[in-house]
Chains A and B, each alone.
Chain A
Amino acid sequence: MLASPSPPGDAHRLRVLIELELLDTAPEERFDRITRMAVRLFGVPMALVSLVDADRLWFKSCAGVPFAQTPRTASFCAHAILQDGPLVIEDACRDERFATGPFATATGARFYAGCPVAAPDGSRIGTVCILDRAPRTFDDKQRALLRDLAAMAGDEIAAGELRRAHARRSESDAWLHGLLEHIPDGVLMLDRAGTVLRANPAVEHMFGSDTGGLAGRMARSLLGEAAFQLLDPQHSPDAPPQEGSGQRLDGSSFPVEVKVAPMRLADQQRYAVIVRDVTRQHELAQRSRATEERRRKHFTTATHELRTPMASILGFSELLLKRDFDPDTSRELLDIIHRQTSRLVELINQMLDLARIEAGGTEGLTIGAVDVAALVEQTLSGLNGLGQNHRIRLELEAGLPPIAADAAKIQQALTNIVSNAIKYSSEGSLIDISTAALQRNAKLMVAIRVADRGIGMTAEQLARIFDAFYRAGESQNVQGSGLGMTIFKEIIELHGGYTDIESQPGSGTAVTVWLPALPDHG
């Protein structure tokens, strides 16, 4: 048997065959029906719908043949697909092309008639063929019948292909629909005049609209003039987003970012518009601007606070070096230098302390169980004699739960408020320190209250009490860096606590610190 030729264009034919996804699939009634019909119509023992693969023949349907494939080189069909009409071998033994072919041997066939089956693009991908073990004649009427059967097989293949295309299409539609339905960015489709044709749920939600409630509205009224200006067929979708003001249906507005992609759909000018609500980004930017401003102000104030004692130190030491003063004046100037140097050292220490606490955050804390009574005692004994002329009265509740705190830091915070109570009240006056445990916001909290009968604060002073370098007692010449309360607040907040301050000018100040009790002690 001669090897079947590989026709020109076979690579394309094979690609078409593979893309039809018919090879190696299960038998199907729509093809079996054709081979059954062929067996009956022609009275032959064998009929096939065969597909000619790269190096084999594979049978989509076979009647009377017990195997599903055979090598392409040994096949009648490989020859049949080379021509348009049916190929008829009335007696293979008398045909030099097939006399010794193994297929002929395997099927025992001497008669073959096969007509090519065309894919939708016309590629001949296989045949409908009939075989018999005895030689036969095959007239024109029979050739026409076989041609009809091959055309039916071709129609079945085309119909299957249509069904598959339709399924692919609805799958891609479902995908697109799901995408538009669920992406958090708003998507609008506008016509050439800027009227909304379609809107996805995200954009409807953004504008406070019901489903379908944006259709027919003008983009100009929803997105503002600046965004409307982007509706230009020449607009580049790569342009940076346009900031604008979105107008909700209830009249309220919100900041938006808009991108526009002009497009031609079914020969109509359309615009796809992506709308993003940037309220949150705006808030973040505003907050970071405020933080930046606070930092800048803090830096200016810190510089001022550091330069002021430096002015005394530099100035008076220069005077002492260059001029002659009487011993009393010299001593007075040295005393100022010493005092201002101490102030400078305290300032620097406090500034570093605050920076360390701020930078360390909660991770900088060593949290443990802190006994509140012991904490108060240690705070008082750590004052180095400050307050020894005040009457300090303790009212520590028995059986208080321990607090979850960094012992050293919380003592530092408490020291700051106790020393303020002492500094801002006159000697001999009473300072009350009391404690209590209370449920607050469904959490067990321990309160420590420090109340003095000192000069107190005005509402204006109270409002600024936590500002860095702010000193309510500025005019009263009370010593301090102005950072004590800032450090205090920072420490308390890191512990998840909070502070209440009551103050009246002339009658005193009471600071109450609330700190979370150690869990499992409630």
Chain B
Amino acid sequence: MDKTILVVEDQDDLRLLVRLSLKSLGRVVLASSAAEGLEKVRAEKPDLVTLDVWLGKGESGLDVCRAIKADPATRHVKVLLLSACGQQSDVEAGMAAGADHYVVKPFSPQSLGEAAAALLATA
């Protein structure tokens, strides 16, 4: 069965980059804000969400991650956080919010694809 991946990223260029990096793994759905992301998690029932941590306008991907993991209907969805903040404390905060994986920007599209594939294999 084809997997569905939701990409939540506020920057157009990076949304495109993540889409191109992951499109061989399944169907890719896009969202550019926290609200749109949460709405599409419920509507599209993705197997994996890649989530930008700084969504702009003060929105945090960590909140979206917590919301996904708190909802019984979506808590099984794998969450991969993407962030330009790469300190140990940032990674720990991400994992504490319930994320399954944490990738620091800038990243290699190939490594991102491999990390996503590994998460999908366990989904």
Contacts and interface: CB of A to CB of B under 8 A. Distances in A.
Interface stretch (A156-164, A242-250, A309-317, A392-400): A309-317
B85 A303 contact: yes
A314 B106 contact: yes
A310 B21 CA distance: 16
A339 B16 CA distance: 15
B109 A311 contact: no
A520 interface: no
A475 B56 contact: yes
Nearest to A471: B56
Contact of A310 (B56, B106, B110): B106
Given A475-B56, A475-B57, A314 B110 contact: no
Interface of B: 11, 13-14, 16-17, 20-21, 54, 56-57, 84-86, 104-110
B17 A311 contact: yes
Contacts of B108: 314-315, 318
Contacts of B104: 307
A316 B85 contact: no
B85 A315 contact: no
A159 B108 CA distance: 100
Interface string A449-491: 0000000000000000000000000110000000000000000
B106 A307 contact: yes
Given A307-B105, A308-B105, A340-B13, A319 B84 contact: no
Contacts of B21: 315, 319
B56 to A, nearest CB: 6
A304 interface: yes
30 contacts: A300-B85, A303-B85, A304-B84, A305-B84, A307-B84, A307-B104, A307-B105, A308-B84, A308-B105, A310-B105, A311-B14, A311-B84, A311-B105, A311-B107, A312-B13, A312-B14, A312-B17, A312-B106, A314-B107, A314-B108, A315-B17, A315-B21, A315-B107, A315-B108, A318-B108, A318-B109, A322-B109, A322-B110, A336-B13, A340-B13
A305 B108 CA distance: 18
A310 B20 CA distance: 17
A334 to B, nearest CB: 12
A300 B54 CA distance: 12
B106 A319 contact: no
A319 B111 CA distance: 12
A310 B107 CA distance: 9
Given A300-B85, A474-B57, A308 B109 contact: no
Contact of A316 (B11, B17, B57): B17
Nearest to A310: B106
Nearest to A339: B13
A474 B55 CA distance: 11
A339 B85 CA distance: 22
A307 B17 CA distance: 14
B85 A313 contact: no
Contacts of A304: 54, 84-85
Nearest to A312: B13
A345 B85 CA distance: 20
Contact of A315 (B54, B57, B106): B106
A490 to B, nearest CB: 25
A339 B13 CA distance: 10
A300 B90 CA distance: 11
Contacts of B110: 318, 322
A313 B108 CA distance: 10
B14 A319 contact: no
Contacts of A314: 106-108
Given A304-B85, A316-B17, A340-B13, A311 B57 contact: no
Interface in A321-340: 322, 336, 339-340
A-B residue pairs, 9 tightest by C-beta:
A307-B84, A311-B105, A311-B106, A314-B106, A304-B84, A310-B106, A315-B17, A312-B13, A307-B105
A306 to B, nearest CB: 8
A375 to B, nearest CB: 36
A307 B104 CA distance: 9
A336 B13 CA distance: 7
Contacts of A316: 13, 17
A339 B56 CA distance: 20
Contacts of B106: 307, 310-315
A474 B57 CA distance: 8
Contacts of B54: 304
A470 to B, nearest CB: 11
A318 B17 CA distance: 10
Given A312-B13, A475-B56, 13 more contacts: A307-B104, A308-B14, A308-B84, A310-B106, A311-B17, A311-B105, A315-B106, A316-B13, A316-B17, A318-B110, A336-B16, A340-B13, A475-B57
Most interface-central of B17, B85, B104, B108 (chain A CB within 10 A)? B17
A199 to B, nearest CB: 50
Contacts of A315: 14, 17, 21, 106-109
Most interface-central of B84, B85, B109 (chain A CB within 10 A)? B84
B109 A319 contact: yes
A315 B14 CA distance: 9
B59 to A, nearest CB: 11
Contacts of A303: 84-85
Contacts of A340: 13
Interface string A326-358: 000000000010011000000000000000000
